[in-house]
Structure 1
Amino acid sequence: MVEHPNWGNIKIFTKNKISVVENNSINRFIHGWVFFSGWLNAIESSVDGFNALEKFVLAWINEYSDVTPVDSNYKVIFHDESTAQRLASAIRLHHICEKLKKNQLLHKLQPFMNETAELLNSEEFYAGNNNHGMFQAKSLRDFAIYADWLDKDLRSTYLRTSLTRISEYFSKSFTAEGVHIEHSPSYHLMVARHVSEHAKFMKLAFGFCPPELQNIIDRAKDHAIHCIQPDGRFLPLSDTAQVSLAGSRNNIFDSSEFAYAASCGKIGTMPSERTLYEPDSGYFFHRTSWNDASAGYLAFISAYNGAYHKHSDDLHLYLWKYGFELLTEAGPFGYQMQDPTVKYAFSQYAHNCIVLDHTSLPRHDRKYREVKMGPLSKLSNGHSISATNSRFADSTHKRTLRLSDDLQNILVEDSISSNSDHKYSLIWNFGPQVKVEVFETFVIGSIQSVPVIRLDFSGVEIQEILHFSGRSGSRPRGWRFPKFGHKIRSSQIQVIFEGRSKSIKTLITTFDGEAENINRSNMRKLNQLQDRSHSAPGASVPTKTAVDKSLNGQSHFGTLQYELGFLKLLDSDAKSRATIRTYREYDIVDEYHGLTANFALRIHQSGRYRVRIYPKGFLASIKPFTTKWLTIS
């Protein structure tokens, strides 16, 4: 068993064979040998565990190194990036084996590495100018430097090929404004980090750093800073992982302004600008201040710069205020495109857009020039900006924003020009903490029963306003995915109207005065749910009440049982409070907060279930407790 950061414990061997599963993320974790990282760290300081690692490597080489393209598992085993990650792990393992004189494994490992490098060098296998191709080229580069047993001319060939590919990728992977073309702040930072690493490599290997590498890093800095929302994490955009950015490892720019944004003002220098406009790349950011975690933060997205990690989020609007997401997107769920939830995460329905005839645009159709950011105008107390999306067959959507500087008033005008009649759905997705009430021509969102946002609609005859929250099945609606494979119910509304060329206005009003009544101790609750680097979800600060830490969870929280269609906790302490996450296989299907004795979840699908309990209140010092699997047929 190994532990995946998102999917929990994973069984490596099934009937003495290394598993290939339906989940592509897990396959890449196993077959890319990504899980080696922590294992190799431990083996470098102690040989304990080496035998198990050796067993895995020998078994993998025997089972999979000769897989051919006609084999059903070929695309899993020889996934472009996984193959590169596998060689990178093998290089490090080979170095450790030499130190420990593990000759049996070296005998098998070395020819396997030679074959993998030959594959990575081939033009047919090269993934091209994307981050997968970058990983391939970097692994080949490192192998060329490391493999002193190879012919010198062959090593030179590998090095020349890898350096050419890396240089070409870096030169084409950022826009002129310094924005990475794969639509995600996480990937923007990741690739910028690899640019920085390659610059250091070039200086060590050849004594100089090409100036274009430093230029890329310098240009990428501002976008990275303005993608950081007031809580010190990147905004959820495309396949972005929302984690804490504090710490020097993430500040590859060596920027005091990045440090300030990532640390929520604890260190560094406050950035001089609160607004960033990147018209060629398709981004607009504005915040009310830099030194307040409750500050308002808005992002307007009109970016279609490449295929990789692209979501169908053209003209999407994101709004953070009072320490919470008010208007958001679903976030990434996975890459198994046969899964309706994954399809939903990529679709227009998971973003704040307009959908035509109940059919989302595809995430990618190569119509790069059909999505454009318009001009920015400075108003007396705010800004006006517009963007257009012409990816539809016979229609163009233009969205114009007029926003006050304090983000208390945002007028959104959506104009659709079309040659034929359509049914239109204006989509607004709310943050998980926002409870939504729907009225005839407006909706109100509240946090802790405090009204914080209102959306008023005008300009068209509204047929109906639909409200979804946590709908599953073939057409999911109303979900927030804080990380891959994890679900939290949220509210989505759809304003339905029809016609040919139409213009609908949404006046977004936020209530700064009322928001003062929100309990600020709960501001980081959503962050705790989304970021593993923070404390366990829902866990409160331990009080001075003495609790025996040796107590096991079951003694307080009971045993999971299924009764009359509901999951319950049998014999739970009546006074125990907790956050309870319910899992069906590897998916989170529900999250409950309150007395464990009152926990009751109606089950609609068969499968294996378990719950993980995060104690709160006077039991907060007890470690989180996971029940045994319960199979429901």
Structure 2
Amino acid sequence: MQSTSEALFQQLTDDELEALREQTASSHRPDLASGVWFDTLVSDSAAEVITAGWKAGDHKRLLLSLPVDWDALCQDDRSWGSQLHGWKFMDKPMQEFIRSGDRTYLQWCLDRAVSWSERYSDQDTANEIVWYNMALGQRSLRLAGLIYLGAKNGMTGPELRSLLAAVDRHRTELALDTSFNPRTNHGYFVAIGQTVLGAALDAVQQMRELAQEGRERLAVMVRTQFLPDGGHSEHSPEYHRMLMRSFQLAVDNGLIKDADFTGRLRKAADLLGWMIQPSGCLVPMGDTPNVNMVDGTHPLTLSPQTNFLMSGGKDGQACTAELGLFPDSGYAFVRSPQPDSGEKLCASSYVAFSAAFHGRAHKHADDLNFVWYDRGQEILVEGGRYGYGAQLPADSPLRADGYYYADPFRRFVESTPAHNTVTANGRNHDRRRAPVGSGLGMCEQADGKFFLRGRMDHSDWTHRRTIELEPGIGLTVIDDVQSTDAAKRDFQVWFNVAGALGLCNVPQGDQEELSWTSPAGDWKVTLLTESGNALPFPVRESEEPLRGWRSVQDGSREGVWSVRLEAQHTRHHVFRNVFRFQAT
């Protein structure tokens, strides 16, 4: 609970309060007037949110009728709770208020903000997610917008006084060093939240100081979040998309004035286009759920090529390069042929290759992982995100393996076998080791083929991978694994074949090939191994241990074909695995 000295606004007289309201209402803040900080992308209408309940992802709807028992909601899932206490439920109603001018939607949000403030502004809570840095930063943005729009549209004195009590508590929490973590994207949301909140009430000296500290924190985040080639440093296309959009809003509204960083944002927008699969969805590496990038809900970017893909060819211009390389981030992509119209995206062959370890944030145990899409179909897929849920106890031994979350399926999708890569002795890649940055090697296009290369060191063994793609024909994966100490190891290669493909032969004896048919039955893809090992039968939808699964939407799971190849008791081995298309 904050002290009286921290209560900047609580001692204001009614006349002083009214003067502050008038000053706020007369200020010129295009970002707050347009509601850019109320930006959740959800399909529900504002009326549905109010009457049927707010829905976040695959979670059940929450009917936020007054009185709201804030402490009882979303306790079992940190992600869901962070969205609730970040006030994301306000976004659609506020967007509708700005569009239509119907004050019913503004009042609905004001009533819930007052209810929330009465519960938390000057009282303690055992629910740590309420003042969790991500919720704190995102709520600060919405609190600023609500105060500004409320001041312009008849907010009452008691309502303003309640929201200013919330501002007092936010000032206290935002000032804490523990609230600002510059090593993750959460630091950005704290910095931008306090900048916008402080600037919304800059008639008050202490709020100008809050905004200035936010700008200083933003300057730190500018250099840590996006690498020189435009890639976001947290191994997740979804966080790349989300942070790129948020930083762009900050630049557009004059909160970041840095020419070099604006150049990085342009590169980030180019990279986002390469992250769009032929299906139109973001490639689901790291903590990335299914995000449709071509459904018309996403704002245009600084990249004409990315805009061309997102708009179905209506905006921007087609990309002519078929090989996209981002050496600082550690990404390489192939899209061949590049579509010259919106309808042709799904006809491209596509590979996304990730060769990087920049830090623990959103990093799965997936060094040198890749996905492959060809002939209008996902071929090699990976585990997805699944969601977060409750955290493991601080003393859980599972934390030594890089895990934070308690749900066994969440841990599975983070594990190395849920990705298309290599393990030694069946162990996950160590995410506690020192980050090594990008491991991308020489990548090139020659004679109708694409060659992607990368290397990762794993303390006492090394993995070198080469991917050879011949679009529409097939793909070869060469994995060179070697112990860097004297120990002999069992090395495993993992492939996860899309569950939509039907297994059409069963390995027997020394047989060294597996085949899957397309959903339409017009072709098959065959895996041949030259490793000297027989192909074992693929595993699908195993519960004990978990294997042969992926998650497309948070909380969902579906079966895939998990293939495991092994070379036993060796210091050095080269796996050569060939996928080839054939007519049926």
Q: Same fold (TM over 0.5)?
A: yes
1:401: how far off? Answer: 2.1
Equivalent residue letter for 1:361: H
Equivalent residue letter for 2:142: S
Partner of 1:410: 475
Equivalent residue letter for 1:353: T
Q: Does 1:455 align with 2:535?
A: no
Verify the 8 A CA contact 2:464 2:479 in the aligned structure 1: yes
Verify the 8 A CA contact 1:444 1:451 in the aligned structure 2: no
Q: How many residues are paired up?
A: 498
- Percent identity, aligned pairs only, is 20
Where structure 1 has 5 or more consecutive residues not aligned to the other structure, the ranges are: 515-633
1:231: how far off? Answer: 3.1
Partner of 1:595: none
CA distance in 2, matches of 1:209, 1:72: 39
Partner of 2:350: 297
Verify the 8 A CA contact 2:106 2:150 in the aligned structure 1: no
CA distance in 2, matches of 1:138, 1:8: 30
Q: Considering only aligned residues, what root-mean-square deviation do their CA atoms show, in Å?
A: 2.7
The 5 Å alignment of 1:128-143 reads 128-143=182-197
Can you list the C-alpha shifts for 1:254-287, whole angstroms capped at 9, x where unaligned? Answer: x332222224445532212000123332121112
1:53: how far off? Answer: 4.7
CA distance in 1, matches of 2:195, 2:183: 16
Partner of 1:504: 575
Local SS of the residue matching 2:251:
helix
Verify the 8 A CA contact 1:28 1:34 in the aligned structure 2: no
Equivalent residue letter for 1:499: H
Verify the 8 A CA contact 2:201 2:208 in the aligned structure 1: no
Q: Pick one of 224, 228, 232 that aligns with 1:176.
A: 228
Verify the 8 A CA contact 2:328 2:438 in the aligned structure 1: no
Q: Does 1:60 align with 2:97?
A: no
1:366: how far off? Answer: 4.4
Task: Give TM-score, length-normalised by structure 2.
Answer: 0.79
1:307: how far off? Answer: 2.5
Higher helix share: 2
Q: Pick one of 541, 549, 553 that aligns with 1:479.
A: 549
Verify the 8 A CA contact 1:87 1:116 in the aligned structure 2: yes
CA distance in 1, matches of 2:434, 2:64: 41
Local SS of the residue matching 2:55:
strand
Can you list the C-alpha shifts for 1:376-415, whole angstroms capped at 9, x where unaligned? Answer: 3544332333212222x422121122333x2513221112
Partner of 1:359: 427
1:141: how far off? Answer: 0.8
CA distance in 1, matches of 2:68, 2:353: 51
The 5 Å alignment of 1:96-107 reads 96-98=149-151, 99-107=153-161
CA distance in 2, matches of 1:66, 1:460: 68
Task: Give TM-score, length-normalised by structure 1.
Answer: 0.73
CA distance in 1, matches of 2:450, 2:94: 52
1:441: how far off? Answer: 1.8
Equivalent residue letter for 1:480: R
1:312: how far off? Answer: 1.6
CA distance in 2, matches of 1:503, 1:117: 58
Answer with 6-15 or 83-92: which moved more. Answer: 6-15
The 5 Å alignment of 1:122-271 reads 122-148=176-202, 150=204, 152=205, 154-202=206-254, 209-246=257-294, 247=296, 249-253=298-302, 255-265=303-313, 267-271=315-319
Verify the 8 A CA contact 2:518 2:524 in the aligned structure 1: yes
Change beyond 3 A, Cα 1:422–1:487: same
Equivalent residue letter for 1:398: R
Change beyond 3 A, Cα 1:285–1:41: closer
Partner of 1:3: 55
Change beyond 3 A, Cα 1:385–1:20: closer
Partner of 1:84: 137
Can you list the C-alpha shifts for 1:459-512, whole angstroms capped at 9, x where unaligned? Answer: 2334x6242222335x4222221121122222222223312222221011134x
Q: Does 1:282 align with 2:330?
A: yes
Equivalent residue letter for 1:468: V
1:248: how far off? Answer: 8.3
CA distance in 2, matches of 1:72, 1:423: 47
Change beyond 3 A, Cα 1:333–1:194: same
Partner of 2:451: 384
Higher strand share: 1
Equivalent residue letter for 1:285: F
Can you list the C-alpha shifts for 1:164-218, whole angstroms capped at 9, x where unaligned? Answer: 111221122222222111112222232222232222222xx7xx94312321122
CA distance in 1, matches of 2:540, 2:454: 29
Verify the 8 A CA contact 1:460 1:502 in the aligned structure 2: no
Answer with 373-382 or 231-240: which moved more. Answer: 373-382
Verify the 8 A CA contact 1:245 1:262 in the aligned structure 2: yes
Verify the 8 A CA contact 1:470 1:477 in the aligned structure 2: yes
Verify the 8 A CA contact 1:478 1:491 in the aligned structure 2: yes
Local SS of the residue matching 2:565:
strand
Verify the 8 A CA contact 1:232 1:263 in the aligned structure 2: no
Can you list the C-alpha shifts for 1:400-446, whole angstroms capped at 9, x where unaligned? Answer: 22333x25132211121123233333211122311234423222121
Verify the 8 A CA contact 1:314 1:371 in the aligned structure 2: no
Partner of 2:413: 345
Change beyond 3 A, Cα 1:29–1:472: farther
The 5 Å alignment of 1:413-492 reads 413-418=478-483, 419-437=486-504, 438-439=506-507, 440-448=511-519, 449-462=521-534, 465-472=536-543, 475-492=545-562
1:329: how far off? Answer: 0.7
Verify the 8 A CA contact 2:227 2:264 in the aligned structure 1: no
Equivalent residue letter for 2:481: I
Verify the 8 A CA contact 2:231 2:328 in the aligned structure 1: no
Verify the 8 A CA contact 2:457 2:463 in the aligned structure 1: yes
Answer 1 or 2: higher relative contact order, Cα 8 Å, separation at least 6.
Answer: 2
CA distance in 1, matches of 2:442, 2:109: 57
1:120: how far off? Answer: 1.1
Can you list the C-alpha shifts for 1:330-389, whole angstroms capped at 9, x where unaligned? Answer: 211111310011111111121101122232224x32432276122235443323332122
1:39: how far off? Answer: 2.8
CA distance in 2, matches of 1:136, 1:41: 23
Verify the 8 A CA contact 1:192 1:252 in the aligned structure 2: no
Can you list the C-alpha shifts for 1:29-49, whole angstroms capped at 9, x where unaligned? Answer: 222211111233455633446
CA distance in 2, matches of 1:34, 1:354: 39
Q: Pick one of 141, 144, 147 that aligns with 1:94.
A: 147
